[in-house]
Structure 1
């Protein structure tokens, strides 16, 4: 499989171009199904897996608990003896403080947060669940606005120094907070956040929507100027909605322009004999272009003479069956033309 490089400080971490998100494995899918899905991704060359310490805590009706996703991955890694060949990403910060209260995106959130004692405690648990000595990428799952972002940056840099993680990451974080954190770490010669996990698909959020968890045109423009930073996109398939356009579009993207973009992606998929999910992930892997341009007079070069500014991007796909893994693997065989990429970038 094609690979990409995640970068932080003096570390370059090679990962496969596709990352499998396993939120539902060991939770909604039983162990036999989960192992079959993981095996198929492995057979297809996949070596990059994404999970979190709280996956399993949202479905008590299934009898699952926090950490079940990490634990099923850990058992698969041990049974296949591949600990030295895989890269695992996991997260902390969005576990529940009070088990009997739900999580919420607005206060009181019930998030455990990113205080040093919480992060170190949860990382120790995750390492035990996964059966590994360190994780490849460790994300702050949700930004903790009770803390200065430079405090969080220093903590995650320390975890790199201690050999517990390789690439620090943040998820569901405002662009300005990430920018401040990365500049702080670079100024002090420490490992900076090298992976930024945000929701993205073919759509852009509607005006006025809260954007801290979403890839926006501003985020693309920022990352295009940061060659060592990669956006890892979650929900590129939008929970199956892309392939089932009769399903309602999710709230952040529920506006008329989304239909136009979805139709474009379907047309391109039809032209290639592929699927809309493959088109979206292939576009992400092409590194979408920033459409933020200089104002007239701010440069001596014409806009047409300026080089493309592209944001490094890597999709995290979900799969609950071997067939869905096969579809995702087919992304790497779908080669978008320059004209199609230009249409997707500009739409």
Structure 2
């Protein structure tokens, strides 16, 4: 499998170009099937896994799971296969339960524990124990904590890098302006800036006028294209299978007429290349979407088309419950998009 390099200032970490998100493994996928998926990804050359401390907490009542079950499953597999030293693990904190007796929720009151330094350190210690590791490759603040200043969160995570517990610090589900403030603060103080930014993205752009704190939008693309030490990691790139099942409704906040046109174009490219729509989405992310801002640096003397393409470093995080689903995602690594294909997909 091809590799990419995550960066945080002058720090670098080599990872697989396709990250395996294992949110469901050990939660609603049993151990045997989970091991089969992990084995296949590893066999294909995959060495980059994504999990979180709270995976399992959402299904405590319905499935009898616990927060951390995904990490426990991965830790068990790493130990059983003896490959802990060969892989990069990304995990997350901050979206566990603030109050044990209340459920987690996507909308307020969320009951998220937040990103206080004490919480971050406590959760990292728990994750390392469950994973059987001494440090993690990427450690994300799972959901931005707006009770805290962005600079305070930045200091907490850069300190973990200084202590050797984390290789690359990251944020997820965070507004572009908050990430920018945090990164500038770390650079100015000599700390490790956030180098991994995990947001939802697929082939669609959000409906105009909607808040996009958790999503990749054109502003996020423009910012990331100007940051050579920042990689965007995209979750839900296949929109839970909707891309290959056009009879399914487009999910909010992408439910607007422009999305249907983009889906049509993706299927046209897929038909031309003998691929699936999901593979086209992944191939576009792997190629790196281009910023389409009208007046980037240099546009005062040159036409936009004459300026170098400003592409985003992007790694899709793919999930799978079955080997067939994983095989489809792995197949995206063999899809090559032409410049014409990229131009269609880059269009807003």
> What is the TM-score with the length of structure 1 in the denominator?
0.98
CA distance in 2, matches of 1:263, 1:114: 41
Contact between 1:291 and 1:346, CA under 8 Å: does it hold in 2? yes
Which residue matches 2:21? 21
* 1:295 positional shift: 8.3
The 3-state SS of whatever aligns with 2:216 is coil
CA distance in 2, matches of 1:339, 1:328: 22
> What is the TM-score with the length of structure 2 in the denominator?
0.97
CA distance in 1, matches of 2:320, 2:235: 12
How is 1:239-258 mapped onto 2 (pairs within 5 angstroms)? 239-258=240-259
Which residue matches 2:155? 154
* 1:246 positional shift: 1.2
How is 1:16-55 mapped onto 2 (pairs within 5 angstroms)? 16-55=16-55
Aligned CA-pair RMSD: 1.4
How is 1:103-182 mapped onto 2 (pairs within 5 angstroms)? 103-182=104-183
CA deviations on 1:122-157 (whole Å, 9 max, x unpaired) are 000000010000000000000000001101001100
CA distance in 2, matches of 1:320, 1:195: 25
The 3-state SS of whatever aligns with 1:59 is helix
The 3-state SS of whatever aligns with 1:20 is strand
The 3-state SS of whatever aligns with 1:242 is helix
Which residue matches 2:338? 337
The 3-state SS of whatever aligns with 1:259 is helix
- Alignment gaps of 5+ in structure 2: none
How is 1:1-347 mapped onto 2 (pairs within 5 angstroms)? 1-60=1-60, 61-294=62-295, 299-347=300-348
CA deviations on 1:166-209 (whole Å, 9 max, x unpaired) are 00000000000000000010111111000000000000000122
Contact between 2:299 and 2:307, CA under 8 Å: does it hold in 1? no
Contact between 2:283 and 2:333, CA under 8 Å: does it hold in 1? yes
- Alignment gaps of 5+ in structure 1: none
CA distance in 1, matches of 2:323, 2:182: 39
Contact between 2:22 and 2:70, CA under 8 Å: does it hold in 1? yes
The 3-state SS of whatever aligns with 2:253 is helix
The 3-state SS of whatever aligns with 1:291 is coil
The 3-state SS of whatever aligns with 2:302 is coil
The 3-state SS of whatever aligns with 2:316 is strand
The 3-state SS of whatever aligns with 1:153 is helix
Quick check: 228-237 or 203-212, which moved more? 203-212
